[in-house]
Amino acid sequence: MFYLIGLGLFDEKDITVRGLETVKKCERVYLEAYTSILMVEKERLESFYGREVILADREMVESCSDEILNGAAEKDVAMLVVGDPMGATTHSDLILRARESNIPVRLIHNASIMNAIGACGLQLYKFGQTVSLVFFENGYRPQSFYDRIKENAELGFHTLVLLDIKVKEQSWENLARGRKIYEPPRYMSASLAAQQMLEVEEERGEGICSPETLAVAVARLGSDDQTIKAGTLAELAETDVGAPLHSMVIIGKNVHDLEIDFLRAFAVNSETFDTVSKKYLAH
């Protein structure tokens, strides 16, 4: 059996009982280590699970899936995934490859940012499509996120924005020269995300990510020191919510007064929040 096992959001103890029992019986255990990260080192996982954990980076998962799946038709092999196993298309591809090789697959689910974002008080059934925001660099400034947020906004939906992480990435120079030298890990902050959104708004001018757009910044969700801040994009662009990982939500105009009441406790500035949120509720 090939198992895809969700680890949850924070540390080695967030795994489910079913997931832990499965890990302990597997011949090999991989940790997918590039679509997201846990907030602890893999050694803590190995100590708690009682099993060696093999780090699987982008290159291994996307180019060496045969190595991961090798022998899984006869023995149990597991891929550990931060959050829920179906939170990234990469994992769907692994399942399809396993099916092609007649390897049975089983999913063991867990909490992910997709449902835990409800901790900020916004109702999950009012979210539209989720978007990703990447680092702007070297003239690369994709704006597709803006269009998706606009589509959600036209329906009054909230938008969950997943922020870029760079793990085991190479510079263009090292990539061109074929040198296996990797850049230090980078994790996009909510403040930088807000700044990039405002930059695109200046170009587009459609009011989707204006300085007065209400948003929520979330950091280290599921941990003991999780941080949630609500305010305008202009405010969040200047707000430090601490260590990674960060996510954001752009609030839709169909927001309910109960959602606003819940968010008020997280306001960067209560006076500003009340003033702007009244415009949303009057929509």
283 annotated as ligand-binding: no
With beta carbons less than 8 A apart as the criterion, state whether 42 and 145 touch.
Answer: no
CATH 3.40.1010.10 fits 2-111, yes or no: yes
221 annotated as ligand-binding: yes
pLDDT of residue 132 exceeding 70? yes
9 annotated as ligand-binding: yes
Per DSSP, the three-state class of 127 is strand
Angle between helix 270-281 and helix 257-264 axes, rounded to 10 deg: 170
Distance CA 120, CA 110 (A): 19
* Mean pLDDT, rounded, of the chain: 92
Q: Of the spans 85-94, 147-156, 170-179, which averages the highest pLDDT?
A: 147-156
With beta carbons less than 8 A apart as the criterion, state whether 117 and 222 touch.
Answer: no
198 annotated as ligand-binding: no
Per DSSP, the three-state class of 165 is strand
> Please, is 169 exposed, middle or buried when counting C-beta atoms within 10 Å of its C-beta (0-12, 13-18, 19+)?
middle
Domain extents for the chain?
2-111, 114-278
pLDDT of residue 102 exceeding 90? yes
- Given this model, what pLDDT does residue 130 score? 96
With beta carbons less than 8 A apart as the criterion, state whether 135 and 171 touch.
Answer: no
163 annotated as ligand-binding: yes
156 annotated as ligand-binding: no
Query: CATH assignment of 114-278, given 3.40.50.300, 3.30.950.10, 3.40.640.10, 3.40.50.150?
Result: 3.30.950.10
Higher pLDDT residue, 182 or 251?
251
14 annotated as ligand-binding: no
Handedness of CA 25, 30, 31, 35 (dihedral sign): negative
Q: pLDDT tens across 7-56, in order? A: 999 999 999 999 999 999 999 999 987 777 788 888 999 999 999 999 88
Per DSSP, the three-state class of 131 is strand
3-state helix, strand, coil in the chain (%, to 5): 40, 20, 40
Residue with tokens 């835990």: 116
Q: Which two tokens stand for residue 44?
A: 């803590």
- Given this model, what pLDDT does residue 244 score? 93
246 annotated as ligand-binding: yes
- Given this model, what pLDDT does residue 181 score? 65
Higher pLDDT residue, 228 or 165?
228
